[in-house]
Structure 1
Amino acid sequence: MIRHLVLFKLDEGVSRDEPRVVAGHEAFAALDGVIPELKSWQCGWNITVRDIAYDYAIVCDVEDRDALQRYIAHPDHQAAAGRWREFATWVVADLES
């Protein structure tokens, strides 16, 4: 099993209530139940207010490395991630258990 973690930081001056950011969240939320490789899916806004905190997170589980690659390449994932490129940066970690 692999847990895929992505933490997003909104660009300077971008707020979470902007229409493009709301649409970005909705695009990720819509992936739940759509991509067969996803064993679990969670996304949402960070509730911690700290200078070092990221703004938004995705946490999901997939079966193995092949499933992770299929998820990453899935057109719906690519479309959702593409929205975030306009207004955020992110870091990724994949933990194998």
Structure 2
Amino acid sequence: MIRHIVLFKFNPGIGWDHPEAIAAERSSQQVGDRVPQLLQWRTGRNISERSIAYDFVAIGLLQNEEALMDYLNHPFHRKSSELWKKISSWVIADLTETGP
């Protein structure tokens, strides 16, 4: 199993009241329903006020690397990613998970 984690940080001048931020969040919330390779999908706004904190997170679980690649290339995922590219920077981590 692969745990896919993405942390988004808004560009200067962007906040949760910005229409493009709202659109990106809504799109991300739908990824789990629209991309069949995802076994689990969670998204959420960060609640930490620390300066190093990111603004939004998406966390998915996929069966294997082939499923990860299919997810990354899925048209809905790519569309959602484009919304975030306009308003943020991000970091990712893909972790191999074993056991319960």
How many residue pairs match? The answer is: 97
Question: C-alpha deviations, 1:8-53, integer Å up to 9, x for none?
Answer: 0000111111111100000111112221100000011001110110
Gap regions ≥5 residues in structure 2: none
Aligned residue identity for 1:57: V
Higher helix share: 2
2:29 aligned residue: 29
2:3 aligned residue: 3
1:12 aligned residue: 12
Distance (Å, rounded) in 2 between the aligned partners of 1:48 and 1:33:
27
Aligned residue identity for 1:76: F
Distance (Å, rounded) in 2 between the aligned partners of 1:32 and 1:70:
13
Distance (Å, rounded) in 1 between the aligned partners of 2:95 and 2:8:
18
Distance (Å, rounded) in 2 between the aligned partners of 1:11 and 1:89:
7
1:39 aligned residue: 39
Mapping 1:51-70, distance limit 5 Å: 51-70=51-70
Say yes or no: does 1:74 pair with 2:78.
no
- Secondary structure at the aligned position of 1:31 is classed as helix
Distance (Å, rounded) in 2 between the aligned partners of 1:14 and 1:35:
27
Runs of 4+ in 1 over 4 A off after TM superposition: none
Aligned residue identity for 1:91: V
Gap regions ≥5 residues in structure 1: none
Aligned residue identity for 1:20: E
RMSD over aligned CA atoms reads 0.7
